[in-house]
Structure 1
Amino acid sequence: MKIGLGLPIDDPALLPDWARRADEGPFSTLGLLDRLVFHNPEPLIALAALAGATSRIRLQTEVLIAPVHHTALLAKQTATLDRISGGRFTLGIGVGGREDDFRATGVDVRSRGRRLDEQLARLRATWAGEPYGDGVGPIGPAPRTPGGPEVLFGGFVPAAVERVGRFGDGFIGAALPPQYLDGLFREVERVWEKYDRPGRPRLVAQLSVALGPHATVERARRNLLDYYEFTGRAGYMADALLTTPERIRAAVADLAGIGADEVVLYCWAPDPDQVDRLAEAVFQDG
C-alpha cells in the first residue's frame, strides 16, 4: 500500500521544501486541499510550482471544489498541470459544502451536484480533444495522460459514489474511521461493477496527523479546529488527530485491512521536519 502526504496550508512558501523532502523519500503523493474563502493556497497553482520542485512524486487535489471553478479554464489548467508534471497529476474532485465559497463566485450552492456532473462530462470531452461547444474549438494543451488526468471523487453521499462509476477512476474517503469507510469502499466497488467498468477503482483514505514537539501538535490541533469550524464537528476532527508513531502505524494498518490502495497522512502544522519523522514512523520496517 502507498503512503502519501497531505500538505499543510499555513505558509505556502514552505511547500517546496516539503515537496522536495517528500520526493526524496518513500512517499507516493502530495495532496493539497481546496477552499476559496480561507487562507489556504490555490491548489492548482501551488501544485504547478511543486511539479517543478519534484521529479517523482504524484500531485493530487483532495479535493478540488469544482463547481466554483469555470469549466473551460479548469479543463485548461488541469491539462496543463498534467502535462508539465509529466503525467503525475491526479484530480481529486468534489462538490464542496461551504456556502460562502459559492457566494464568493456567484454560483448557486443548490446546483452544485448537477453542475459537477455537467463539468465532468465537459472535462472528459475537452481532454479528449473535442470542440468545447458550438462555434468553439478544442481547448489545449492535450494532457500528458491519455484521456486526461486520473479523477478521484470525494464525498459522503450516494451521489459522490455514483460519480465514481460514471466518470471517475476512484474514490477519496476523508475523516472517517475504518468501520464506516469500509462501507463506502464496498459501495464504490458495487457501483464500479454496476457500470461494468474494467479493473477496479482506486481507493484512497486520509488520516490527520501531527508528529513532533508539543508546539507542532498544538498548532496542528488549532488549525484543524479552525478549518473544520463550519462543519459543527471541529472538536471531533481535532480529537481524531494522530500524534504518535504507534497510533499512526495502527491506523494505516486498519485502512490497509479494508482495502485502501493509498493512505494520505494530512499534516496540519507547517513544521517540515515532519516529513522525516513520518517516513521513519511509517516506513521503519522498510
Structure 2
Amino acid sequence: MTLPVMEPDLDAGVLRTWARTVDEGPFSSLCWGERIAFDNPDSLTLLGALSAWTDRVRLVTTVIVPQLHDPVLLAKALATGDMLSGGRLTVGLGVGGRQEDYDAVGADFATQTRRAMAERVTVMKRVWAGERVTDSVLPVGPPPVQAGGPPLLVGTIGPKTVRSAATWADGVAGTILDLDVGAQNALFDVARSAWAEAGRPAPHLATSFWFALGDGDAPRAQLHRHLRRYMNWIPAEFVDAMAPTTGWAGTEDELLRVLREFEAVGTDEVHLIPTSTDLDQLRSAARVAREFG
C-alpha cells in the first residue's frame, strides 16, 4: 500500500494513521514516492517518521531520484532510515520524469540518464560498504542494518532502463497506467532475461497502479480528480482524455480478480496507489488483501 502523499491537505495525523493502519496488516510493504516541485512531504524526512510509526511492514521508496541529491548525503540518509527501521528499507530509484524537479534543486537536467543514475548508485554502495569516499578520517556512517545496504529496485516502464539496471538493482518497481497485464509481463520478461545474463539472482518483480474502490461512477470520478491534481505538468485536456482508462476503479471483488491476474504472470508484489486519504478506501483494500492471502 502506498501512502496518499500526493493528496491535498495532509498533516502528520493523516500520515501516521495511514502508516499504523497499514502496519497492522495484511500489507507487505508501505510505499511512497518523491516529487520536489509539489506539496508532498519530503521523502527522506518521511522515512524517519515511518520508521518510528511502524514496526512490521517493509518501507519502500517508489521512487527516489538520485540525481536530485548528493549521493553521499543520500546514502547516509537511507542508511539512517535502514537503521531506524531495523533493516526494513527497500529503495526504489529512477531518473525522474519532470524537469521542474531538477530545476527546483538546481540539478542538471542533462543528468536525467541511466548512466548518471548508475554512477550515483555506485557511490552509494561504496558508502554502504564502509569505504572512505574522501580523505575523511572515518567512512560515512551509520552502516546500514542490511549488509551492503538496502535492496534496490529500478523504477521504470522502459525496457532499456530495466536492462541497464541488471548490474546494480535487485528488482523492478514498475507502474502500469492501463492495467495491461500482458504488457507488464513483457517488461518482467526483459528483467528476467537481463538478470540471468548478468549472473544475478532472479529479480523482485513489482508493479503499481492507482486505485479507487466503490460502486457505480464514484470511484472513477475520484480517480479522475486525483489524476487532474497529480498530473499537473500535463495539459488538463490530455489528462481528461486518458482518465477513463488510467488506473483501476471498481469493487473489492473486481480488484481481487485483477490481483490474481498479476499473480498469474509471476508478479511478486503490487503497490496499490490510493487516490484519496479516506481510511475507508484503505480498509476496503485491506479486506481484498486478506482474501488474496
Question: Same fold judged by TM-score > 0.5?
Answer: yes
Provide the C-alpha distance between the structure 2 equivalents of 1:281 and 1:95, rounded to a whole number of angstroms.
Answer: 32
| Corresponding residue for residue 90 of structure 1 | 90
Q: Using the TM superposition, give the Cα deviation of residue 237 of structure 1 relative to its aligned residue in structure 2, in angstroms.
A: 5.1
| Corresponding residue for residue 184 of structure 2 | 181
Task: Say yes or no: does 1:131 pair with 2:132.
Answer: yes
Q: Using the TM superposition, give the Cα deviation of residue 132 of structure 1 relative to its aligned residue in structure 2, in angstroms.
A: 1.4
Provide the C-alpha distance between the structure 2 equivalents of 1:26 and 1:100, rounded to a whole number of angstroms.
Answer: 37
Q: Using the TM superposition, give the Cα deviation of residue 200 of structure 1 relative to its aligned residue in structure 2, in angstroms.
A: 0.9
Distance 1:237 1:28, change over 3 A: farther
Q: Using the TM superposition, give the Cα deviation of residue 134 of structure 1 relative to its aligned residue in structure 2, in angstroms.
A: 4.7
Instruction: Read off the aligned partner of 2:45 and give its amino acid letter.
Output: I
Residues 157-192 of structure 1 deviation map (CA, whole Å, 9 limit, x = unaligned): 344212431111100110242121111100001110
Which structure would you say has the larger RCO, counting Cα contacts within 8 Å and 6 or more residues apart?
1
Provide the C-alpha distance between the structure 2 equivalents of 1:38 and 1:201, rounded to a whole number of angstroms.
Answer: 32
Consecutive unaligned residues in structure 2, runs of 5 or more: none
Residues 249-275 of structure 1 deviation map (CA, whole Å, 9 limit, x = unaligned): 122111112111001111121112222
Provide the C-alpha distance between the structure 2 equivalents of 1:130 and 1:219, rounded to a whole number of angstroms.
Answer: 49
Q: Please give the residue correspondences for 1:1-286 in structure 2 after superposition, counting only pairs within 5 Å.
A: 5-9=1-5, 10=7, 11-13=10-12, 14-113=14-113, 114-134=115-135, 137-176=138-177, 177-197=180-200, 199-212=201-214, 218-231=221-234, 234-235=239-240, 236=242, 239-243=245-249, 244-284=251-291, 286=293
Normalised by the size of structure 2, how large is the TM-score? 0.89
Q: Using the TM superposition, give the Cα deviation of residue 43 of structure 1 relative to its aligned residue in structure 2, in angstroms.
A: 1.5
Provide the C-alpha distance between the structure 1 equivalents of 2:184 and 2:260, rounded to a whole number of angstroms.
Answer: 14
Distance 1:162 1:285, change over 3 A: closer
Provide the C-alpha distance between the structure 2 equivalents of 1:238 and 1:147, rounded to a whole number of angstroms.
Answer: 43
Aligned length, in residue pairs? 281
Provide the C-alpha distance between the structure 2 equivalents of 1:135 and 1:86, rounded to a whole number of angstroms.
Answer: 27
| Contact 2:127–2:140 (Cα < 8 Å) also in 1 | yes
> More deviation in 276-285 or 76-85?
276-285
Q: Which structure 1 residue ranges, 4+ long, deviate > 4 Å from structure 2? A: 134-137, 212-217
CA RMSD in angstroms, aligned pairs only: 2.0
Q: Using the TM superposition, give the Cα deviation of residue 94 of structure 1 relative to its aligned residue in structure 2, in angstroms.
A: 0.2
Instruction: Read off the aligned partner of 1:204 and give its amino acid letter.
Output: A
| Contact 1:8–1:270 (Cα < 8 Å) also in 2 | yes
Distance 1:262 1:12, change over 3 A: farther
Partner SS state of residue 223, structure 1: helix
Residues 187-206 of structure 1 deviation map (CA, whole Å, 9 limit, x = unaligned): 00111011111x31100011
Normalised by the size of structure 1, how large is the TM-score? 0.91
Provide the C-alpha distance between the structure 1 equivalents of 2:28 and 2:292, rounded to a whole number of angstroms.
Answer: 17
Q: Using the TM superposition, give the Cα deviation of residue 217 of structure 1 relative to its aligned residue in structure 2, in angstroms.
A: 6.0
Residues 54-102 of structure 1 deviation map (CA, whole Å, 9 limit, x = unaligned): 1100111111112111111101000000111001011001000101111
Consecutive unaligned residues in structure 1, runs of 5 or more: none
Distance 1:158 1:281, change over 3 A: closer
Q: Using the TM superposition, give the Cα deviation of residue 131 of structure 1 relative to its aligned residue in structure 2, in angstroms.
A: 0.5
Instruction: Read off the aligned partner of 2:231 and give its amino acid letter.
Output: Y
Provide the C-alpha distance between the structure 2 equivalents of 1:140 and 1:257, rounded to a whole number of angstroms.
Answer: 42
| Contact 1:221–1:241 (Cα < 8 Å) also in 2 | no
| Contact 1:209–1:268 (Cα < 8 Å) also in 2 | yes
Distance 1:137 1:234, change over 3 A: farther
Provide the C-alpha distance between the structure 2 equivalents of 1:95 and 1:41, rounded to a whole number of angstroms.
Answer: 19
Calculate percent identity across the aligned residue pairs. Answer: 35
Instruction: Read off the aligned partner of 2:51 and give its amino acid letter.
Output: A
